[in-house]
Structures are given as C-alpha cells and as structure tokens.
Structure 1
Amino acid sequence: MRSVYVAGLGHGDGLQVVELGLMELLARRAERLGVFRPVAPRGADVRADPAIEVMRARYRPAQVGSGITIEEVEEGFASQTVDVLLDRLVERFAGFEASCDAVLVLGGSTAPGDLAGEPAFDAKLASRLSAPVVIVAGGVGQDADVTSKSLRTGYQVFAEQGCPVLAVIANRVPAGAVVGADLPVPCYVIPENPALSAPTVGQVAEVLRAVQVQGDAVGLQRDVSSVVLGGETLPGFLEHLRSAALVVTPGDRADLLLGAVASDAAGTARPAAVVLSHGVKPSPAVRGVTGRLAPGMPVLSAAADSLTIAAAVAGLSGQLSPDNPRRTEHALGHFEAHVDSEGLAQRLGLGRSSRVTPLMFEQSLVERARAERRHIVLPEGEEDRVLRAAETVLRRGIADLTLLGREDVIRRRAGDHGLDLHGAKIVDPLTSPMRHSFAERYHALREHRGMTLDRARDMVTDVNHFATMMVRTGAVHGMVSGTVHSSAATLLPAFQIVQTVPDISTVSSVYFMCLSDRVLLFGDCAVNADPDVTRLADIAITSARTAERFGIEPRVAMLTYSTGAAGAGADLDKVQEATELVRTRAPELLVEGPMQYDVAVDPRVAAVRLPESGVAGRATVLIFPDQHAGATTCLAVRRSAGAVAVGPILQGLRHPVNDVARGAGVEDIITTIAISAIQAQSVS
C-alpha cells in the first residue's frame, strides 16, 4: 500500500486541483483507493466535504474517512499535547489503510486555530504515517519570489521531520511569473486558470436564492467571467457586453434582457446568464421572444437590488463539484498540462497493478492517448453530445480534433452550452477547398465500380465520406462517428476508402470487456456474421494485435461448444482449422482451441479439463465462432457480471475508423476517441 500526503502552505493554494490530479494518478495504478482527511472541517461530515465528494463521484474509492474533527481537537487540545492527537490520528489511519492499495491523504487546508499554530503539524503527521509528501504553495496575488520562498520554507519543515518529499508545486501562479525553488526535488508551476476560478451560473443562482425562469440545467454550468450592470441605454449596454458575462439588470428593463438574448442569438457576445433584480420576472410576451431566440440561456430572477447582486457575485470563486464533471475534466487537463504525472508515479515507486479494474483501464486509455497525441475527425460536429465530448478531449489533451459541419451552427450550439472548443478545427464539407481533390481521389478509387466524377463530387459532401477521405489522405489520423448515423453509413465508406492492412483481408471488431479485476477482448461480436476459416483466423490475429497495442498480453482462446478433440461437427472443425491457421501465420502467438468459455476463463475448470494449457483459465482474447455467439455472450457477461463493455472497436483497417452507438453518451464518445488515437499511434 502506498500513501501520498498533500500539504498546502496557506490560503489560496488551490489544493483541490492538485488533490484531484494526484488521485487521477493513483487511480491508473491501484485498484482499491482510499481518501483520508486527517482533520475534518468544522461541523462537517466527511460525506459533505466538497473535495471528497468529487473524488467519490469520479473514482468510487473503496474507503473514505477522516481522523478527527476540529471539535475533537478543541475539546482535547487544552489537556492533551499535539503528540497525543497525532497518535490518535495514526491509530485511526492504520485501521483505515488496511483495506486500500493506495491512499490520498488530504492535509494542509483544514487545520483548526490552535493546531494551525503548530507549523510542523502536517510534517509530523506525514512522518508518522511514513507517507511521501507533495507540498503546495499558492501564488494568487503574490510576487514570484514570495511563492518561491514559501516552497523552500515548506520543504525545510518537512525535510526536518524526515518526510520524503515527492515534489513541490506552485499553484495558481500569475501568468508569466517565474517561480524557482532551487530544491533537490521537482518543482512544478501551475498557472492561474480564470476558467477554474470563475463561479458558475449555478453557484450564482444558489447564493442569490434566485429563481430560474428560462434555460435548462446545462446552462447552470456556464462559467461567469465578469459582471455587466445594465443601467444605461441599450446601445451603451451592447457596447460593454462581453461573452461569459453575467448581466445584472433591473427587472423592469425588458429592453436590456431582449438585447442580451439577441446578442447571444446573433453570436456577437454570448453572456453567461441574465439576472433580473427586485424579484421581477419577464412578462409572457417577453419570455415568448427570449425563449425562441436563445432557449438555452439562463435567465434568473433574484429578490435583491442590482448592486447587492453584483457585490455577492464578486465574492464568489469557482469550485469543483460532483454535479459539474466538465469543470473536473478541465481541472485535470490543467494539472496534467503542467505536472509530470508519470514522473511523480516513478518517484513514488508506484507500479501498475496486475489486476485491472474498469476505472483503471479507462484511465490508462487517456494516459496512452496523451503520450503520443493524434488528430481525430468527428463528422457529426453539430451534435451536442459530440461537442461536449470534444471539449473534454481538448482540455485533457487526449487528441487534436477536427469537427465537420457548418461553423455558425457549431459555434452557436457550443455557445448555448457554454462549451470551450478552442483548439478544434471546424471544416464544412460543402465549402471546403478539399472537396474537389477528395472527389477526384474518390472517383479514382471507385471508378472500377462505376463511380462517375459528378457523383463523386456529391458523395464527398456527405460528412462520413468526407471524413474518411481525410483519413485516407493523411489530413487526420482517425475518425469516430455514429451518434446520429447508422453503422452502415459510418462503416461502408471506411471499407471502400481506407481498406484493410496488407496481411489481413478481414475487417472485424472487438469489445473490451472490463470485469471487476481484468480486461478481456471479445471478437467478433458486431461485423462478421458467420466467418469462414480464413476470416476467423484473421479475426484472431488482429484481435491479438489489438490486445498487445493496449497493454494486454494476448492469450488467444478459439471458442466453441466443445473443448479439445472430444466433439464433432462442422462448427468444431471450422474452429480447429482456424486455430491451426493462426499457428501457421502467427507462430509467436499463444493460441489454443477449440475451447469452451468456462475452460478459457476459469482456472479451476481449466485445471481439470486442460491442465497443461498455457491459455486455458488465463485467456485474454476470446474469439467466438460467429457473431451470434459473440453478441449473446457479450450481453450475458455485461448483465450477469456487471462488466463494462467498451466497443465495438474496428480492427483490420489501415487507419482507425470507429463507430459508436447512436445512443452513446459523452463518456462513450470520449473513450472511443481515446481508443482511436491509440490505434493511430501504431500506424506509420
């Protein structure tokens, strides 16, 4: 078990972003996670701790708890020494950590009055817990030299207590400031990010106890970067209006409300929300207009006057919360852009677990994709789910993106949801100069099938054909589609244009089946209905390569209804012949068959049925004799074992093209983009 102790050195250190980034690091390498708060905030239940609630929602830790409360400290501090309190904390932590593989200890920011006066409290506790420490100093409103001195002083305090310091982090540092601690450990500098410190419309509504009279729940997650008071004429108001501004206006100024909404609809400035003062709500006639012009823009009604509202908003700062996963992703992306997580893991000596949970697998996909970034095209750029996924992909640095669609529509939809698509390319196939060269290339590829140049010009205006041509010509590395198109509309252009790798003639698919303690590959469950011997061998070889590409050691089981040579029948013969063909074509692969499912995955059954096998009981790649058997087993395992199925993932193409389900959620799209990026890394 490994613990990491996060210690902040004062107010404004932005500990929550660092804590989240370190928890992400642990989640990629440990199965059973714990979060421990040594001293809980005053009057707080650990279940109401905002930092812990974000981690609980995202990582589902095995253990969450605290050592002592501030009230306990205050009751016993007069009669007890600090050492007695520390002993009590160590005792409680010992019982807590026993059921965890890794624990993040949240220190620093919640020490109470008298205890906070003990400068080495965190250092003494970390030393007694034998926990390596990450020290965090805030740079908000401070000179870089002051921040550097804080880090050096903090390092000295912990070093004197014998604590191993993993790294020091200067967080929320003003842009352009140069912080140098000159210490024998890594020093990372995380600049201030206005989007993370900005409050959301939802926070504003909560503090004002405002009533929402227009807009939806998604709009409440918009960031508020500034406040614009609406007290002047409409022309003057529009001159001062900025995107992401909170408009605060007297409730009877319907002209300013209409002006803000019209500006949003026109795209000249996209305010975060409008707050009407004195509890006034717009008339039905006004709401009829605003609701049509910008239905997604939040309009709030608050009882206070405009100046009181503006003052209340000025005192708000952004915070992470479990109901705003967008901001959580943004925080992680910001942390990972400035901190070497892999380097920290190596200093911690935290290797990867031999057991792989669904969460660990999903986290590893992001890590692998980020390591060698690739460019993915998303043909359905006007779809809201795709836009939400695109924002996260860009913020986390998972891939570079091109969105296909009408730019004005994409920008308007992104603005409606407060999405930041900075860094994404937007291409309209109807107006793109690439259309003409793509038509000529497509005509040349399909002329033998009767394709004319005029028809090719029409075909490449289809977003899936255009995207596939981008992949074929090297403009991008891969493609993900399917949220609003059928599988046929996504896959047919890929089969025609991208084509298969040289030594494989079969395009097939696999599902990553994430069980509670491991990840298996199931193939083919979606593309080939009844493959013959050659195709079945292709599927096995390609699936083994896919497993290896994603860090899974390929042990291939060729499945059917009987094990070994005991049975008879055409299906059994097909699997037997395919197994021999795989051994001939890929002698380096560990492959066995025919084999039943339970023999392949259950070591106890394998020990009886095939005791000498190197695959039985340990198979990682399961190849089904036909699509019916594969799809049925996939569904059964998902339902009965609670497995998470990721896929289908296409394989065998020269470049990655993947199809998501039309009901796919944002997380499914993000995962498929990450997988496509990883597939593209192996394409020369």
Structure 2
Amino acid sequence: MTRSVYVTGIGRGDGRQVVELGMMELLTRQVDRVGLYRPLVHDTPDRIFELLRGRYRLTQDPATYFGMGYEEAAALQAEQGQDALTARLVEGYLRVAESYDTVLVLGSDFAATNLPAELGVNARLANECGASVLPVIGGRDQNAESVVAEVRNAHHAYTNLGCDVIAMVANRVDPDQLDSAADQLRRSLDVPVYVLPDEPALSAPTVRQIVQTLGAEVLLGDDAGLARDALDFVFGGAMLPTFLPALTPGCVVVTPGDRADLIIGALAAHSAGAPPIAGVLLTLGEKPGQDILRLADRLAPGTPVVAVPTGSFLTATELFGLDGKLGAGTPRKAETALGLFETGVDTTELTERLSVARSARVTPMMFEHALLERARTNKRRIVLPEGGEERILRAAEVLLRRGVCELTLLGEEDAVRKKAGDLGIGLDDPALDIVDPHTSPLRDRFAALYAKLRAHKGVSYELAYDVVADVSYFGTLMVQEGLADGMVSGAVHSTAATIRPAFEIIKTRPGAAIVSSVFFMCLADRVLVYGDCAVNPDPDAEQLADIAIQAAGTAARFDVQPRVAMLSYSTGTSGSGADVDKVRAATELVRQRRPDLLVEGPIQYDAAVSPVVAAAKLPGSAVAGRATVLVFPDLNTGNNTYKAVQRSAGAVAVGPVLQGLRKPVNDLSRGALVQDIVNTVAITAIQAQGDLR
C-alpha cells in the first residue's frame, strides 16, 4: 500500500514550503518513486510543483499533480456538499497513488480559498487518503508562549478530527524565542515538535521578483545579479558621506534616478566589498545618462540597476509588501530552506515515524542524498584552493547552507569576497575561513616543512617559500598538517597540478602500491564503481590488482557491496594474449591477497553486468551479471568507457575519487558543474571520517 504524508497548516503565512521541500528531500532519500499531489491549487503551473519536479527530476505528468482549482472546489462544495468535494479530490489522489510508492500531499494554503472550515477539509482529505499528517504552524512575530499555544491547538484540532499526526513543525519562529519554545513544546506534546527559526534570506524577495512585481526596467545587471536576495532596503536622500555608512550587506539602494552621486557611491562600495549590495532601484522615472551607466557597469559588472516611474513612497509601499518565494527560479533559497529543515528536524526520527520502506535499488538521487547526509553526521574541514572561482563559490554556498562540512577557501581575501559579492553570495558563515597563501603566517612553517620533505631533490627554503604560495601546494600542506581534513581542486587546475603535491607531500598509505582513482557511476537503477579511469595509463598486473583491492574498499566505504569484475576483451578462458594474461594474473593476485573478496576475471563488460549474458558465458559465477566494481585494464579503456556511459546512458558520474593516499585529496574535471563539486566535497569529507580499507 502506498504510504503518504500530508503537509498542512492552520492559516496563512506559515512558510510551509520549507517543510514541503524538506519532506521531498527526506522521501527521495528512501524511495525511488515519489509522487506529488496538491488537492487544491490557485494557478497552474504550480510554483512548488515546478520547483520539486526540477530539483528531484520527477517524471510525473503535471496534469496528474492537482485535483482542482479553489473556485471550482468552492462551487462544488456549495452545490453538492463536502462529501462530493472530498470524493473528487480523493479520486485525484488515488490516480497518483497507483503509480508511486509514496505520495507527498500538499494541503491547502488558507489564502483566499472561499472554503469554510478549511482545516476540517484538510483533515478529512488526509484521513480519506490514509495519509499521516504533518501540520506546520507559523510563529512569526510571536513570543514563545504564543507559539506553544498555537502548536498545541493545532495538534488538538487535527487529532480530534481523527488524523494520524506524526509530528508538528513550528516555523518562522523568532530566533530569540526558539530555545524557549522548543523546550516548552518538548514537554507539552506526545509527538515530536520541530522548531525552525525565521530566516531573513527566505523572506527576502530576489531582485528579479522586485523587477517583476514593480514592472521595473532593467538598465544594468545579469541573471546572477537579478537572482540576489534583497535583504534590506536603504532609501537614499542624504549626501554621500552620510549615505554610505547606512548601507547594509545585501541591501537594495532606493534613490531618485538623478542622484548620480549615490548611484556611483553605492556601486563603488559594492565593488570594494564594503558592503556588497543587491542592486540599485531608481525612482521618479529618472534615468542616469549613458556615461554614468557605463561607469556603473565598469564599477560593479552584473549588479542590477533598475528603474520605476513611481516616487519613493509608493515604491516603498510595494517593496515592504513583498515576501520571498521558493520556486524553480530560486535555487539558492531552496538550499537555504533545506539547510534550515535538516538543522531543525531530526530526520532520522521523522523517517522512522513515517515507516517508509527503503527502495531496494539505489537511484542517482538517493546516492547523492546519502553522500550529503553521511558527510553531515561527522563534519570535517575541506580546503578548496580555487576560492575565487565562481563554481567553487556557488558550491561552497550550498555546502555551508546544507551544513555538509566546514570549508577553507584559498585566495586573496578581498578578491574572493568581491567575487562572492558580485554573485550575491554571503561568506559570513562561522564554518568558513578564507586564507591567502601569500600573506598567511603559515607560509613560513609550510616552507620549512616542504624544504625538509624535498631536501633530497635539492629544494632550499627559499625555493620552498615560493612553491608553497601556490594554492595547490598550500592546500595539500594544510591537509598534511591536520589544518584541513581533505582537499578538492581541479575546477581550473589540471589533474597533474592537483595531485602532484599530494604525491610529494602526503604520499601513499601503508599497503597501497600506487595512487589510483574510481568514478561512482550512478545509473538509473544502481551505482557502479569504475576504476582506474583517471590516473594510471597502463598498469601492470601488480598495479591492476592494487587498483581492484582499493576500488573494492572504496565501494564498501560508500555502501556499494563489492563484486569485482576484472575487465578484458575475453571472458574466462576464451581468449589469450598479453593483455588478457595481464588481467588473468591480476585476478589471481587479488584472490591471493583478499580471499574474502568476490572477484571474477578476465571478463567482458556485458558478462559482468548482464545476468542474461553471464548465464551463457560464465554460469554459476558469483560476480558475473552482478558486478558492482569494474576494473579496466588501462586508462584508455576506462576513461572512454566512463564517458561513453555518462553521455549515452545519462549516468551521473561522481569523481574521480582518488584512493591510496594517506589523506584524502580529490580532483575535479575542469568542466565540473556545481553539483559535481558538492558531491566530490561530500565524498572527500566522508573519506576523511575514517581510513578506507
């Protein structure tokens, strides 16, 4: 039977989209097929559905997502009664439930719905759908006692209507009232109550939302600038010396369009990072001349400058009525929301209360979720040498907002902060450090250490002093000295530049003959481990055996049961020749060194992964047709195969993950996407939690 959860509330303004997003994250960690159903909608396409569909790669037909519009529902209830309305809405739910293992139901929003007894409507729907209920109560502008009373009343209301309330969420609670409210609620109810703070970044509209709402004309600015959160509004009318100290990080400057001094002053402050602003909004229909706009564009490229015809008072009235909204166009807000949910909710406890059966197969999304969750449980500090690169900064923002790990960015601090400011990214998280290798007091210490390590190569202290200023060497030395637990680089540096310092400084761990790599290949229904696809061009039998043993250990570390296939162009005893003999010898070495491992070789790829082919070519093999670790005979074969599978089969390739080093250092593809970087950092943090076997 489909297991469902119904997220609902008791009134407007509860910000439950945070909980809806968090629940979708939680469910997709456990279940392959999660469906969505909103019984009642205001408009289609629905903003939250589009967010969840895009973020979680849902294939659900949008036409099946909702039951009916509010106006139609109100008319139906008025004409035929609540029974008829309930029956229609439950029919829609059942159509979704037929196709999915679990359904997340999003209750009505209590906003101009024209439905009497709306709480009762939600309660009855939840009961008729057999769904557990997760009520969300808004706590904005309330003290702790008021929040507690609201939560208790909501709990009584839903339980008295026969609902299975699995937990309660108090959302948007004043941070100063949060601990008191949480303490009282723990003692008040017999179900878990999770208390989430009010987060200004979620309530803040984006500059793009301001433009759309006010019908503003965009004079300057790019997509990244328009995506910035407007955390504050500063109205400019004073002279520049008085105006500049009033600027706040992430503010939108609102000023008449003829105040060129304030426009240029605000953008110059942004360029200097003191402070970074979200943009400039010009009123009264006045626009600066082209010379001023050209100067503004040079001062702060990408920063929005927009204009409206209204005066400051009317503009302010509209601005202060805006509220930030989660949607497909606000991915950064989604990361903030998930960070809040995962910090404030005991996801393990909630999952147990849901009793959702975990899917037997592992999807790419489930694997990615597991990486972040495991990294978060035992946080490590990862150093990112390419601190000024846009993708690194965006990945850092995701990692920090999700609480995955602590980070150190390398680079000149003012330059890193300016770049982050241009992207609308805040770097004030206490889990983040920015270190400049050229000016850091660690440079002297690292130079002495590197000179000692490389003295046999004739490296002097003076030469070492120059070498360790390189971000790759500096980051590697931080790992070596325990100032960071791992390093991830390669977004703009070559593989050689990333791993050469690791070879020189960290070196191989005991028992590892070489450093090698694997990719986690996330296919539609499973995760395979490919090695070596990035480091060793033509390993001999000894090295190939070492790669296989290391890859099996890496697979096991990440919950992929190792069944090792030593790949070749022939299977079993069907072929001969130097290349096949190498693989055969390597297979025997693996069996001798690790008799506990399941290993087969030489074996062709099809026989390794297809049960049908395996039954014909190697019947009775414990590995054939079920292999999870595929070891390629050389780099040419491995690299081309992983790329072919990635592109042709739509697989998500996570890696390369280096193995065999004493401490974790991992390389990125120079074409890595932000999510690739996030995944690789999470893997590195997990590696740092304990030695790979």
* TM-aligned CA deviation for residue 3 of structure 1: 1.1
Aligned with 2:454: secondary structure? helix
* TM-aligned CA deviation for residue 71 of structure 1: 2.6
Paired position in structure 2 for 1:493: 501
- Spell out the pairing of 1:110-509 with structure 2 (5 A cutoff): 110=110, 113-177=113-177, 178-179=180-181, 180-181=184-185, 182-422=188-428, 423=430, 424-509=432-517
* TM-aligned CA deviation for residue 131 of structure 1: 0.9
Instruction: For 1:240 and 1:647, locate their aligned partners in 2 and report how far apart those are by CA, in whole Å.
Output: 46
Q: How many residues align?
A: 680
Instruction: For 2:438 and 2:113, locate their aligned partners in 1 and report how far apart those are by CA, in whole Å.
Output: 65
Is 1:622 the counterpart of 2:622 in the alignment?
no
Instruction: For 1:186 and 1:468, locate their aligned partners in 2 and report how far apart those are by CA, in whole Å.
Output: 44
| Change over 3 Å in CA distance of 1:298–1:111 after alignment to 2 | closer
Paired position in structure 2 for 1:89: 89
Paired position in structure 2 for 1:525: 533
Instruction: For 2:344 and 2:14, locate their aligned partners in 1 and report how far apart those are by CA, in whole Å.
Output: 15
Paired position in structure 2 for 1:649: 657
Paired position in structure 1 for 2:26: 25
* 1:522-573 deviation digits (Å, cap 9, x = unpaired): 1111111110111101100110111111111111111101111121111111
* 1:259-297 deviation digits (Å, cap 9, x = unpaired): 111222233222221111122222122122212211232
* TM-aligned CA deviation for residue 116 of structure 1: 4.0
| Change over 3 Å in CA distance of 1:651–1:468 after alignment to 2 | same
* TM-aligned CA deviation for residue 379 of structure 1: 0.5
Aligned with 2:14: secondary structure? coil
* 1:342-371 deviation digits (Å, cap 9, x = unpaired): 211111112432211112211111111111
* TM-aligned CA deviation for residue 468 of structure 1: 0.4
Asked whether the 8 Å contact 1:467–1:479 carries over to 2, the reply is yes
Aligned with 2:79: secondary structure? coil
- Spell out the pairing of 1:628-639 with structure 2 (5 A cutoff): 628-639=636-647
Is 1:58 the counterpart of 2:64 in the alignment?
no
Asked whether the 8 Å contact 1:35–1:61 carries over to 2, the reply is no
Asked whether the 8 Å contact 2:252–2:281 carries over to 1, the reply is yes
TM-score after normalising by structure 1: 0.97
Instruction: For 2:464 and 2:114, locate their aligned partners in 1 and report how far apart those are by CA, in whole Å.
Output: 77
* TM-aligned CA deviation for residue 110 of structure 1: 5.0
Higher mean alpha-carbon deviation, 432-441 vs 236-245, is at 236-245
Asked whether the 8 Å contact 1:479–1:657 carries over to 2, the reply is yes
- Spell out the pairing of 1:514-593 with structure 2 (5 A cutoff): 514-593=522-601
* TM-aligned CA deviation for residue 112 of structure 1: 6.2
Asked whether the 8 Å contact 2:382–2:407 carries over to 1, the reply is yes
* TM-aligned CA deviation for residue 156 of structure 1: 2.0
Aligned with 1:286: secondary structure? helix
Kindly report the root-mean-square deviation, in angstroms, between the aligned alpha carbons of the 2 structures. Answer: 1.5
Instruction: For 2:547 and 2:110, locate their aligned partners in 1 and report how far apart those are by CA, in whole Å.
Output: 56
Aligned with 2:606: secondary structure? helix
Asked whether the 8 Å contact 2:12–2:111 carries over to 1, the reply is no
Residue identity opposite 1:122 in structure 2 = N
Instruction: For 1:322 and 1:78, locate their aligned partners in 2 and report how far apart those are by CA, in whole Å.
Output: 35
* TM-aligned CA deviation for residue 427 of structure 1: 0.8
Asked whether the 8 Å contact 2:522–2:651 carries over to 1, the reply is yes
Asked whether the 8 Å contact 1:70–1:111 carries over to 2, the reply is no
* TM-aligned CA deviation for residue 609 of structure 1: 1.7
Asked whether the 8 Å contact 1:9–1:150 carries over to 2, the reply is no
Residue identity opposite 2:47 in structure 1 = P
Instruction: For 2:290 and 2:13, locate their aligned partners in 1 and report how far apart those are by CA, in whole Å.
Output: 45
* TM-aligned CA deviation for residue 113 of structure 1: 4.4
* 1:200-257 deviation digits (Å, cap 9, x = unpaired): 1111111111111122110111111222222222222223222222111111111111
Aligned with 1:120: secondary structure? helix
Asked whether the 8 Å contact 2:408–2:433 carries over to 1, the reply is yes
Aligned with 1:170: secondary structure? strand
Instruction: For 1:289 and 1:52, locate their aligned partners in 2 and report how far apart those are by CA, in whole Å.
Output: 42
Instruction: For 2:55 and 2:220, locate their aligned partners in 1 and report how far apart those are by CA, in whole Å.
Output: 30
Aligned with 2:30: secondary structure? coil
| Change over 3 Å in CA distance of 1:236–1:118 after alignment to 2 | closer
Residue identity opposite 2:423 in structure 1 = H
Instruction: For 1:448 and 1:299, locate their aligned partners in 2 and report how far apart those are by CA, in whole Å.
Output: 58
Paired position in structure 1 for 2:105: 105
Higher mean alpha-carbon deviation, 501-510 vs 113-122, is at 113-122
Paired position in structure 1 for 2:672: 664
Asked whether the 8 Å contact 2:276–2:418 carries over to 1, the reply is no
Aligned with 2:409: secondary structure? strand
* TM-aligned CA deviation for residue 188 of structure 1: 0.5
Instruction: For 2:649 and 2:217, locate their aligned partners in 1 and report how far apart those are by CA, in whole Å.
Output: 44
* TM-aligned CA deviation for residue 664 of structure 1: 1.6
Instruction: For 2:203 and 2:48, locate their aligned partners in 1 and report how far apart those are by CA, in whole Å.
Output: 15
* 1:435-474 deviation digits (Å, cap 9, x = unpaired): 1111111112111222222211111111100100011111
Q: Which structure 2 residue ranges, 5 or more long, are not aligned? A: none
Aligned with 2:175: secondary structure? coil
Residue identity opposite 2:594 in structure 1 = A
* 1:490-518 deviation digits (Å, cap 9, x = unpaired): 11101111111101111111111111111
Aligned with 2:176: secondary structure? coil
